[in-house]
Amino acid sequence: MSPPPGQPSPEKERDAAQAGPAVSPRYLSALFGTAFAALLGFYALLFGLDAAGRLPPPAFANSICVDEKLAFHRGHPVPGATLLVIGSSVAWRHFDGDAVVERNPRAVPLSGAFCGLSANQSVFAANWFLDRQPAVREVLLIASPQDFENCSTVRTALFDSADAASFVSGASPWPFYMRYFAPGSLLRNAAEIGAKRSGENFVDPLVFDRYGSGPLDTARNRETLLYGMVRTLDPACFDAVAGLGERLRREGRRLLVASTPLNPAWKAEGDPEGRTVAEFNRRMQAALAPSGGVFWDGDAAKVVEPDAFFDAIHLRWSAARTYSDALTEALKLGQAAPPRPTLLSEQRTH
């Protein structure tokens, strides 16, 4: 039975009810206009910060130390690196590449260390650099026991490998600010980045040398030792190092590990009987054994004085050179021959 003239059929009434209320074009225009204005405002903020020299890098890791280091590698490529240094802040702060180059001018050091990493994350970074640096013949891990506590509970992937590689290789940075949108950390880092880049912030400077190391070039101390006692050593951390060693063994490269000097005051307070350090050394040597890696106990070597420490585990830059000299001699850094060039007769012809 048809409905009376002018009255919609029951089917049309049902379809209209299911479709919900109509959205007015004015509402859609306002919605899209607001979104577009917000986008323009966000990029205006970025361009303004950039013009003022206060623009932090894109938040690939949402760690200003890691992200700023990626920005450094973007602006300062090191083609043909032969020695890759990895690890957390002790590796970043304690390696002076001049100690290697002055002894072995053919060596090309590159610091692939980032602050705040667990050992598994350092291995992730190592693999990322190795995939991009085929000439590397030696990988040096500078480590402290603090790096080997929490590998089972922290995310291994420090950043998206493809995005970071694209950024470091010179892709436009602007889309990454939207992809890694983090307005809170952006504003916080913008307020602090100037003092860190200039070194005025002596506690957390983001100043790099030509190898990518981060010197603590100050005569001052942190007010406390900062780092507490290592509770337990995580087997997953040593497994990660063993996995890196196996990769390097297959590829004919060397894995070298050096422990960093530890502040005697921290050891007296946190490890008075030396059990944690001894266990760390034992596990490290066991992790390296299958791949033939080499371990040097930079703490037991006592190459720096107690007043060389900035806090529990970090050295001032003057002492970092002393430590770098000692580990270069102990591990014969830079002496691995670079890969032999492929002869013309060996190249594949088509």
- Mind giving me the DSSP string for 80-117? T--EEEEESHHHHHH--THHHHTT-TT--EEE---TT-
Per-residue pLDDT of 271-306, as tens digits, reads: 999 999 999 999 999 999 999 999 999 999 999 999
- 67 close to 59: Cβ distance less than 8 angstroms: yes
H-assigned helices in 133-234: 161-168, 174-179, 183-198
At 38, list the tokens.
Answer: 């917000």
- Within a 10 A sphere around the Cβ of 265, how many other Cβ atoms? 13
Please tell me which residue, 338 or 144, carries the higher pLDDT value. Answer: 144
**CATH label, 55-331, candidates 3.40.720.10, 3.20.10.10, 3.40.50.1110, 2.60.40.10:** 3.40.50.1110
Furthest-apart CA pair in the chain: how many Å?
Answer: 101
- What digits encode the pLDDT tens for the residues 195-245? 999 999 999 999 999 999 999 999 988 878 888 889 899 999 999 999 999
Distance, in Å, from the CA atom of 305 to the CA atom of 316, rounded to the nearest integer, reads: 11
Residue 21's pLDDT is what?
A: 60
Rounded to an integer, the average pLDDT of 318-324 is 97
Name the pTM for this structure.
0.86
Percent of the chain past pLDDT 90, that is, above it, reads 75
What is the CB neighbour count within 10 angstroms for residue 256? 23
- Parallel, antiparallel, or unpaired for β 294-296 and 138-143? unpaired
Both structure tokens of 272 = 């008075």
In this structure, the number of other CB atoms found within 10 A of the CB of residue 131 comes to 10
| The pair of three-digit structure tokens given for residue 155, joined into one six-digit string | 């995310």
Bigger pLDDT: 15 vs 86 = 86
User: 141: part of which helix (H) or strand (E)?
Assistant: strand 138-143
CA 325, chain centre distance (Å): 24
pLDDT over 70, % of the chain: 84
> pLDDT averaged over the chain?
89
Residue 315 has pLDDT above 90, yes or no: yes
Q: What is the dihedral of CA 159, 162, 167, 170, to 10 degrees?
A: 160
pLDDT greater than 90 at residue 42: no
Q: What pLDDT is recorded for position 344? A: 46
pLDDT band at 13 (very low <50, low <70, confident <90, very high): low
* pLDDT band at residue 270 using 50, 70 and 90 as cut-offs: confident
Mean of pLDDT values over 238-267: 97
